[in-house]
Amino acid sequence: MELASKSQNLFEVFLRLRPPYPGAPQTERILDVEDPENGLHPSHITLNPPPDRRRTIEKFGFTQVFEEDASQLDVFHCTDTSSLIEGVLAPQGGEGTDAVVATLGVTGSGKTHTILGNRSQRGITQLATDVIFRSISENMVESAQSPTLDSLQACDSSEATLVTATHFLDTVNADPMQSSRGGGSRSTTPMMVRAQSALLHVKPPTPSRIPSKVQQMPGAFPGSAATSPKSVRPVSEAEETLRQKKQ
């Protein structure tokens, strides 16, 4: 199966293989990842069902196949999520572009783990949000210093159910083994992370805005730069022009 060129694809499809639960019985592997050509990343798999259930051997192609040992940052960087963030932020001016990242799969395949992560590994949502807010930190306005934001602070909980962030995270990060016994879909994949640089440019803050630094909440953003994707560094047009002349 030959994949269409990247420029012809309306969207890209990545396959991430989930490792078995710790202690799960060993079974015969029915999915094989084909060796990549010319040292590139793998992009094809072959399904080889057991003889008693075999009808045909099927082959499928994807933009890229992430094997069981892939980390959250591997997925974030190799899916080129940073370029989607750059398009949304429109660093070179303009209105920006829309972007969407979605996960599809059967129950228990690791969709929630990929998007939301767990207590030790952040998912694509947290990594992307981290990059966005660190990138626009100098353009953010402290609500206490801007009277125009008072209306946004008003909250009427009489007709709504308010749930603390801690309660939500406890639900998301429930015991994976307990969830698996109850039909849940939490992954227990132990994963390592690696640093990856990405340099983008955004428009500098306007004088009317009050720059502020993003507050770091305990456990929300790791202190080590090696566990976070790089932010979009704001530069002025003069700095960008000077940098291009030096090149």
- Of 137, 38, 20, 128, the C-alpha closest to 76 is 128
The answer to whether the annotation marks 183 as part of a ligand binding site is no
Say if residue 106 carries a ligand binding annotation.
yes
Is 108 assigned to a binding site?
yes
CA–CA separation, 28 and 173 (whole Å): 30
Q: Are strands 31-33 and 44-47 parallel, antiparallel or unpaired?
A: antiparallel
Ligand-binding site membership of 107 (annotated): yes
Q: How far apart are CA 107 and CA 113, in angstroms?
A: 12
Q: What does the alpha-carbon distance between residue 30 and residue 175 come to, in Å, rounded to a whole number?
A: 28
- At residue 85, φ and ψ (nearest 5 deg) are -65, -40
Q: What are residue 45's DSSP bridge partners?
A: 33, 60
* Nearest residue to 134 via CA among 190, 181, 202: 202
Q: Which residues of 75-86 are buried (b: 16+ CB within 10 A; e: fewer)?
A: bbbebebbebbb
Contacts of residue 169, defined as CB under 8 A and 6 or more positions apart, other chains included, come to none
Question: CA-CA distance, 112 to 170, in Å (whole number)?
Answer: 14
Annotated binding-site residue? 110: yes
Q: Which residues are annotated as a binding site for ATP?
A: 105-112
Binding residues: 105-112
